[in-house]
Amino acid sequence: MRRLFIFLFFITASTIAFSQHKTARVGAIGFYNFENLFDTEDDPKKLDEEFTPTGKKLWNEEIYHEKQQHLAKVVSELGTELNPDGLAILGVAEVENRKVLEDFVMQDAVKDRHYQIVHHESPDRRGIDVALLYQSKYYKVSESKAIPLLIFNDQGERVFTRDILLVGGTFDGDPLYVLVNHWPSRSGGESATRDYRNAGALRCKEISDSLSTINPATKVIIMGDLNDDPVSPSVKKVLRAQNKISKVRPKGFYNPMYDYYKKGIGTLAYRDAWSLFDQIILNYPLVDPNSSGYHYYRTYIHNPSYLIQKKGRYKGYPFRTFDFDNYMGGYSDHFPVYVYLVKEVSQ
């Protein structure tokens, strides 16, 4: 990637100074699985009974508000190393409805950022959706739509899962589309459900290809809880997301999460093994050295000590909210991830 210079010092809230008298604007974009952020009401159209005061988890207002505060604390920290405004864009998963997002953006830790909400209800049986939060000072949204993921089981019955959320607009002047995903889980086995996630990857590729055909300079970010790793067929073979920028070609993708995965660093753990399901994948214009505007700079997995379980069966795992039906007082069973984009500006 061209002209990534050594940091010298910070200047304004959204720009950094490089060597050789170069200055760059900085934008941070992230994703976080909120792990079952339900309200306390029983919605008869959703399988949410356990997340009510009389349900198995005894999910009451006190616990709900503590969960909101915990999530806001984490989000308030993301991306602040290079920009005090934090994340300009945040994709989220496992949220029940717009109400829980409205409550989230009003939490003390993040309310000064004035996050706006893009949310559409999904047909997921449990009622969990994906959504996008953004600061309008950075991202101007012009369109959004929920794109159904049409998948079917061996009996020909539709498997109802989360829609893909497509949001389009301009990021500080750059055309930018974001696809927020929560692909089908591995419940029933990885191989038995592999085709479902492959279908999610193919749909994302089709959308990105279509956008690139209209305007090759359009920047596209695919993010989400993919329930697959960077080396899984959905990501490596269907999306063909590359592990090196030099390998990316027009209409192709770069996966900055690959190196973390190869080092054994993940975003969630299961049976003492780490997985890296939470990914942010960038299309060619975001890494093309000849394109203008914002370019990829760095990727982070946010895993400070307080987000790690200190004892019990999940010791060393992300500090979750529940151990089955027992309230743990944690944050999420996933770590959040984010990337920095930089754009050179004249001084």
pLDDT (average), residues 185-191: 95
Q: Output 21 or 303, whichever has higher pLDDT.
A: 303
CA 199/CA 194 separation, integer angstroms? 9
Q: What angle is formed at CA 160 by the lines to CA 269 and CA 179, rounded to 5 degrees? A: 65
Q: Are 26 and 84 in contact (CB under 8 A)?
A: no
Secondary structure (H, E, C), the chain: CCCCCCEEEECCCCEEEECCCCEEEEEEEEEEEEEEECCCCCCCCCCCHHHCCCCCCCCCHHHHHHHHHHHHHHHHHCCCCCCCCCCCEEEEEEECCHHHHHHHHCCCCCHHHCCEEEECCCCCCCCCEEEEEECCCCEEEEEEEEECCCCECCCCCECCCCCEEEEEEEECCEEEEEEEEECCCCCCCHHHHHHHHHHHHHHHHHHHHHHHHHCCCCEEEEEEECCCCCCCHHHHHHCCEECCHHHCCCCCEECCCHHHHHCCCCCEEECCEEECCEEEEEEHHHCCCCCCCCEEEEEEECCCHHHECCCCCCCCCECCCEECCEECCCCCCCCCEEEEEEEEECC
Q: Read off the pTM.
A: 0.94
Q: Output 18 or 134, whichever has higher pLDDT.
A: 134
Mean pLDDT check: name the lowest of 15-24, 44-53, 325-334.
15-24
Q: Tell me what pLDDT residue 62 has.
A: 98
pLDDT, tens digit, for every residue of 192-244? 999 999 999 999 999 999 999 999 999 999 999 999 999 999 999 999 999 99
pLDDT category of residue 23 using cuts at 50, 70 and 90:
confident
Q: Tell me what pLDDT residue 218 has.
A: 95
pLDDT category of residue 8 using cuts at 50, 70 and 90:
very low
In DSSP terms, 175 is beta-bridged to 170
pLDDT, tens digit, for every residue of 61-71? 999 999 999 99
Q: Tell me what pLDDT residue 345 has.
A: 83
Q: What percent of the chain has pLDDT over 90?
A: 91
pLDDT (average), residues 246-251: 97
CA 144/CA 130 separation, integer angstroms? 13
pLDDT category of residue 10 using cuts at 50, 70 and 90:
very low
Q: Tell me what pLDDT residue 22 has.
A: 72
pLDDT (average), residues 105-111: 98
Q: Over the chain, what is the mean pLDDT?
A: 93
CA 325/CA 35 separation, integer angstroms? 14
Can you list the domains of the chain with their CATH numbers?
A: 7-345 (3.60.10.10)
Q: What percent of the chain has pLDDT over 70?
A: 93
pLDDT, tens digit, for every residue of 81-102? 999 999 999 999 999 999 999 9
Q: Tell me what pLDDT residue 9 has.
A: 27
59: Cβ–Cβ under 8 A, 6 or more apart, which residues?
Answer: 38, 40, 50, 51, 52, 53
